Chains A and B, each alone.
Chain A
Amino acid sequence: MLTSVPPETRETSAPAAFLNAKAAWRWPEYLFWLSAFALILLLPNRHLLMNEIAILGLFALSLDLILGYAGIVSLGHAAFFGVGAYAAGLLTKYGVTEPVTGLLISGALAGAAGFLASFMILRGTDLTRLMVTLGVALIFHEIANRLDWITGGTDGLLGVAPSAILGRFEFDFTGRTAYVYSLSVTFLLFLAARRIVNSPFGLSLKALKDNRLRAATIGIAPNRRLIAIYTLAAVYAGMAGALLTQTTQFVSLEVLDFSRSADALLVLVIGGSGYLYGGLIGAIAFKLMKDTLSAMTPAYWIFWMGFILVILVLIGRDRLVAGIARPFAPLLRLIGGRRP
């Protein structure tokens, strides 16, 4: 295709046009967000569940940034979720009760943790990275467990009472404020992520994911980019954690559990990775599924979760997603999904 373009236009506008075409908004995206916001009014008594979906969606989105765009398989992404959650809890408890301020500080702290941890994932193979991410999460879990005079240990952190958002919107019992708050934060962060992955930086990440050696030979410095995206993903995860703390007014060790990291992976498997909406769509499917399953078999829903994972992988994620998505293929293509 490029050969048919006159050289001078290729020189100046083709890359920019390519990026712009990728970054253009398509109508299903408007539809997706419009319906998400419309649910504030349409389903007034399911706000608590939808709040959880929004938070899980944001968390999965942050994992998608490193898994789908940089190809880092992480088994310990909950570490940053936990840092954000505890930071928000402690901030609220000891003075900074305004949620948005707390959110920003928590995100920054989680980002700092991610920045430090990112140096450990630069070397080694997939397996080493797997172990390092897992190890970091376990260390954080252990720290939170041991520092029980600060974190409450296994009892959890009680007495987290955030004040009104921006001094104006109080949290209510139906979870309406919580949902609006979480959804707005998720939306804004999504916009930022969308801007970033469609930028030249995002493209260079994809090049790194496909073939790191080749990317390095055409002058893309891998390490700096990996550190940047890992830090960014940590910020996002931390903010998701902070949202959970502020809207549930409670933090427990559970925010750092291994199963939380595994959940995020499962969400991405369901939704597909590498096009940002996977985390959000997957979060909806995952939460609804988990709700139904745990209503059916309260103790053993984890079995069915495992079962779904095994089946998804065995049949082949791509093939299954393609099979289900075929009717929606034009839709998915419009929001930038991979072609089935």
Chain B
Amino acid sequence: MLTILFDGIAYGMLLFVMAAGLAVTLGLMNFVNLAHGAFAMAGGYATVVLMTRFGVPFLACLPLAFLFSAALGLVFERTLYVRMYERSHLDQVLFSIGLVFMAIAAADYLMGSSQQNIQLPSYLQGRITVAGVGIGVYRLFLVVICGLMALGLQLILARTRFGSQLRAAVDDRRVARGLGIPVGTVFAITFAFGSGLAGLGGALSAEIVGLDPGFPLKFMLYFLIVVTVGGTSSLTGPLLAALLLGVADVMGKYLVPQLGAFIIYAMMLAVLMIRPQGLFARGR
């Protein structure tokens, strides 16, 4: 039972790292980016290619996956996304759906439609028992890495100069620009960083959920749930929402498999009905 709970937490942490970038773009910048999963998929595929073709060790792949997705995100932000910030939500939805379709077909073309798996190094396999609870080593690894990430993000956002610049730029673009904050650069860096995190998450998740061209579509909803249910005012909300979602999803699948994904959809609808601003949002 506790093992399942722990698996759920690990899964939730993973979801948080993948969705953290979206929490900023969608939650803070109010930009509906349904293509966020495509960047996660890019990171996952980068890892697969690096490991199988070039024999790069798994741990070294992770930062590379981050860099790859971040670079991709930067290019896309500068060339395409930057034009979409001021558009209507409908335009943003259509634009990012188009990107998702392109990403799916491109992944299919480049990598084939079969599911890719990666071979974890032996020191991340197996289980250990802590206080009578069996814990997968890789799950533990996930929780530690993602926990550190979450902590780091919160610190960057709350404590650094860049963080305050970002928050200012999000709150009011014009005033921030007037104060001499390079809003465009701040957004670009944030977007690239968010994409990089998604890529890292994709690389980490390849072992747990598998990787195929349908990935961006499959996880689009999960990311959106994390952000909308978590509320859009801070990173704590999405973190809690991701943990809740991860635990609910894993537990649901183990305990009542016949309900399938039903639980999380119903949960999401219930939350959005009762609190349209998200569970952990400040009242506006």
Q: Which residues of A contact B (CB under 8 A)?
A: 67, 73, 75, 120, 123-128, 130-132, 134-136, 138-139, 142-143, 145-146, 258, 262, 265-266, 269, 299-303, 305-310, 312-314, 317
Contact = CB atoms under 8 A, between A and B. Distances in A.
Interface of B: 26, 32, 80, 83-84, 87, 89-91, 93-95, 97-106, 108-109, 217, 221, 224-225, 228, 258-262, 265-266, 268-269, 272-273, 276-277
Contacts of A308: 98
A312 B266 CA distance: 34
B221 A134 contact: yes
B80 A310 contact: yes
A142 B261 contact: yes
Q: Which secondary structure dominates chain B's binding surface?
A: helix
11 contacts: A131-B224, A136-B269, A146-B262, A262-B101, A303-B104, A303-B105, A306-B100, A307-B102, A310-B95, A313-B98, A314-B95
Contact of B224 (A134, A309, A312): A134
A299 B272 CA distance: 37
Contacts of A312: 94, 98
Interface centre among B26, B80, B224 (most CB of A within 10 A): B224
Interface of A is mostly: helix
Nearest to B104: A302
A130 B103 CA distance: 21
B262 A131 contact: no
Contacts of B273: 120, 123, 132
Given A130-B93, A309-B95, 9 more contacts: A124-B272, A128-B272, A265-B93, A299-B109, A303-B105, A306-B104, A312-B94, A313-B91, A314-B80
A309 B276 contact: no
Contacts of B277: 124
Contact of A127 (B228, B258, B261): B228
Given A120-B273, A131-B228, A73 B93 contact: yes
B89 to A, nearest CB: 4
B276 A125 contact: yes
A309 B94 CA distance: 7
Contact of B32 (A127, A143, A262, A313): A127
Contacts of B87: 313
Among B26, B83, B272, the one with the most A-chain Cβ atoms within 10 Å of its Cβ is B272
Q: Find the residue from B94, B109, B273 having the highest chain A CB count within 10 A.
A: B94
